[in-house]
């Protein structure tokens, strides 16, 4: 019957964002009763190494919310063409159009709202699907009522949407919450963007949201203006349901800077709108030709993929614990425990697109064969690119492509550099004072040279059309000689030794030292 369209980003903004979003997702799912109903969440421009916002809070969502939610992931590299034109990191019009294009065509209605809304049918026996199924074609809005921040923070249980809706029915009377704020036509109500129900067919006819609106604010008013022209009328559903907003003004939203807030031009996008259509984007709105990643919370989750990958390559531990040490005298010992390290490496890659082409430069053949199996097991379809310069590695692993480093460099979308000892065996003790042998030295030298070249030339060797820096993952680069090498070139955080892994984008160091390092890296001196 209807597709709810929401958008957001996993950027930890505001201390109570996760709570109000979980409350809202669960409450929206609760008022759905048609098998075709869906919540489309566009996760816009979350960093590649982060999970999407709904994945980050999945444990607070009800089974029903997880079942009806489709997450469409817009990657930073897909946003980058807008980056110079806007101060915002998440674009509403683009997000909502991406979802509209990919919404369930069997649904008659599209409902635009936000991740802090609860919709309460006035007749408890009715679902929102029932309500929308019974009303004539039109463009509908409801007034927004505010819930004081303390109330929802203190009294709502994220995973109890039925209880939350019951509380709202009670509070609305006890605390006089229901105040309708009228507004000029075509807006009809204040804060109209928290409930705008339009026919899917109408939204396609008017070419979706206006994608020129990239400075934030008024997207809802623009939509109201255009749909009011197109339909002739703005209808209300106030008799059918009330919409409640989890007030969150203690911490201002990212696009709210008080009087200094930059916003879309009201005259252009509201008061001087002259047509329902946006013909300039008729063929392009919602990025119809872009293959969009879709993530489900009820199946094929990141955890399921992670375990599927690792279960293929590591057996359960047979001892209560294993030991290593970061004592200073062991600084040159590059042994590490592969079964312990591999989960931390997989953790670094699992959020990337499945089609990612990964360059793997390594010294240990058992690392390569284990990681390659885990990569496949996690559902990745992109190739693992291993430069021919890396000797002593398995030659014919499925999904692995061998070619000269220089040829592969501009195909790689992600890098792993592993600095271990080629001669380490599976049974020998870790960090017990092992010396580096001639073969180890030779392989490490190659890995180091390729790493420096890749990092120093990253900006110049990106795949065609890519503008976002690629990420470098370093394996076994903590508390040993490669820590400095790696962090000279990569902007990595300080990680615990136990994780064995550092990661980050290439460093942008404009100091003399940085320039020298870059020069040396380019020429692998």
Partner 1 sequence: MADIGILRAAIAPVRRLWRRPAAVEIAPKVGDDEEDARVHFRDGLVKRRGGNSEGALAAFDRALALVPEFADAVMARAEILDSLGRSIEAHAEYERARGLWSELPPGAADRRYVFRRQGYFAFEAESYNLVRTNVRSKILPQLAHGNARLARGRAAEALDSYERALKVNPKLVEVLALKGEALSALGRYEEAIQIFDGVLAANPKDGDTLNGRGIARAALGRLADANDDWRRQFELLPQTSSAARACVAMRMGNCSAAFNEFALAVAKEPNNPYWLLYRLTAARLAGAPAELVTLPADDRWPTPLLAFRTGQVTEEVLLHRATSPARHAEARFQMGVLAVDGNPAAARRYWREVVDQGPPALIEFAAASNELARLGA
CB contact at 8 A, 32 and 127: yes
CB contact at 8 A, 18 and 56: yes
Distance CA(408)–CA(402), nearest Å, equals: 8
Residue among 397, 506, 509 at smallest CA distance from 451: 506
Q: Tell the smallest beta-carbon distance from residue 245 to partner 1 (Å).
A: 20
Q: Tell the smallest beta-carbon distance from residue 396 to partner 1 (Å).
A: 51
User: What is the CA 459 to chain-centroid distance, rounded?
Assistant: 23
Residue 180 or 317: the one with the smaller Cβ distance to partner 1 is: 180
Q: Mapping DSSP to helix (H, G, I), strand (E, B) and coil, where does residue 168 land?
A: helix
Residue 231 or 462: the one with the smaller Cβ distance to partner 1 is: 231
Neighbours of 41 (CB within 10 A): 26
CA angle 410, 411, 414 (to 5 degrees): 100
Provide the sign of the torsion angle of the four alpha carbons 247, 250, 253, 258, taken in this order: positive
Q: Tell the smallest beta-carbon distance from residue 194 to partner 1 (Å).
A: 19
Q: Tell the smallest beta-carbon distance from residue 143 to partner 1 (Å).
A: 11
For residue 157, report the phi and psi dihedrals to the nearest 5 degrees.
Answer: -100, 120
Q: Mapping DSSP to helix (H, G, I), strand (E, B) and coil, where does residue 125 land?
A: coil
Q: Tell the smallest beta-carbon distance from residue 30 to partner 1 (Å).
A: 23
Residue 115 or 141: the one with the smaller Cβ distance to partner 1 is: 141
Enumerate residues 6+ apart whose C-beta is below 8 A from 407. none
Residue 196 or 356: the one with the smaller Cβ distance to partner 1 is: 196
Q: Tell the smallest beta-carbon distance from residue 108 to partner 1 (Å).
A: 12
Q: Tell the smallest beta-carbon distance from residue 242 to partner 1 (Å).
A: 11
Residues near partner 1 (CB under 8 A) are: 135-138, 180, 184-186, 225, 228-233, 235-236, 238-239, 267, 270-276
Distance CA(499)–CA(507), nearest Å, equals: 21
Residue 186 or 420: the one with the smaller Cβ distance to partner 1 is: 186
Residue 170 or 460: the one with the smaller Cβ distance to partner 1 is: 170
CB contact at 8 A, 158 and 17: no
Residue 51 or 186: the one with the smaller Cβ distance to partner 1 is: 186
């Amino acid at each position: 019957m209807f597709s709810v369209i929401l958008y957001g980003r996993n950027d930890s903004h505001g201390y109570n964002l996760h709570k109000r979003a979980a409350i809202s997702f669960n409450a929206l799912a609760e008022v759905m009763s048609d098998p075709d109903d869906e919540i489309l969440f566009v996760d816009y421009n979350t960093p590649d190494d982060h999970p999407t916002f709904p994945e980050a809070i999945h444990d607070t969502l009800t089974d029903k919310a997880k079942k009806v939610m489709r997450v469409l992931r817009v990657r930073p590299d897909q946003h980058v063409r807008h980056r110079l034109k806007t101060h915002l990191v998440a674009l509403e019009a683009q997000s909502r159009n991406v979802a509209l294009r990919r919404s369930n065509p069997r649904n008659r209605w599209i409902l635009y709202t936000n991740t802090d809304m609860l919709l309460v049918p006035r007749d408890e026996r009715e679902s929102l699907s029932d309500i929308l199924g019974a009303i004539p074609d039109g463009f509908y809005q409801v007034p927004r009522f505010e819930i004081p921040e303390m109330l929802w923070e203190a009294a709502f249980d994220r995973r109890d949407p039925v209880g939350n809706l019951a509380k709202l029915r009670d509070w609305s009377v006890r605390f006089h919450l229901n105040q309708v704020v009228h507004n000029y036509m075509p807006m009809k109500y204040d804060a109209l963007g928290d409930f705008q129900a339009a026919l899917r067919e109408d939204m396609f006819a008017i070419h979706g949201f206006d994608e020129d609106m990239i400075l934030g604010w008024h997207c809802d008013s623009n939509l109201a203006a255009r749909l009011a022209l197109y339909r002739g009328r703005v209808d209300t559903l106030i008799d059918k349901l009330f919409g409640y907003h989890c007030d969150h003004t203690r911490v201002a939203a990212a696009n709210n800077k008080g009087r200094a807030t930059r916003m879309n031009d009201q005259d252009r996008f509201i008061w001087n709108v002259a047509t329902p259509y946006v013909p300039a984007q008729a063929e392009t709105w919602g990025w119809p030709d872009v293959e969009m990643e879709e993530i489900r919370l009820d199946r094929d989750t990141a955890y399921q993929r992670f375990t599927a990958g690792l279960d293929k390559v590591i057996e359960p531990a047979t001892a209560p614990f294993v030991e290593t040490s970061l004592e200073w005298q062991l600084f040159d010992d590059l042994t590490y425990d592969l079964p312990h390290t591999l989960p931390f490496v997989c953790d670094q890659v699992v959020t990337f697109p499945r089609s990612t082409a990964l360059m793997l430069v390594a010294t240990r053949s058992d690392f390569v064969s284990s990681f390659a199996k885990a990569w496949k097991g996690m559902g990745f379809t992109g190739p693992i690119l291993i430069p021919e310069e890396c000797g002593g590695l398995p030659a014919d692993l499925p999904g692995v492509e061998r070619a000269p480093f220089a040829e592969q460099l501009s195909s790689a979308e992600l890098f792993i550099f592993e600095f271990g000892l080629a001669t380490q065996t599976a049974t020998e003790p870790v960090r017990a004072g092992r010396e580096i042998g001639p073969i180890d030295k030779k392989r490490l030298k190659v890995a180091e040279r390729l790493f420096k070249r890749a990092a120093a030339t990253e900006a110049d060797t990106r795949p065609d059309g890519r503008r976002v820096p690629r990420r470098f993952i370093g394996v076994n680069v903590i508390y040993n000689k490669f820590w400095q090498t790696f962090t000279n070139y990569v902007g990595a955080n300080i990680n615990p030794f136990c994780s064995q892994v550092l990661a980050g984008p290439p460093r942008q160091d404009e100091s003399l030292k940085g320039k020298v390092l870059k020069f040396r890296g380019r020429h692998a001196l």
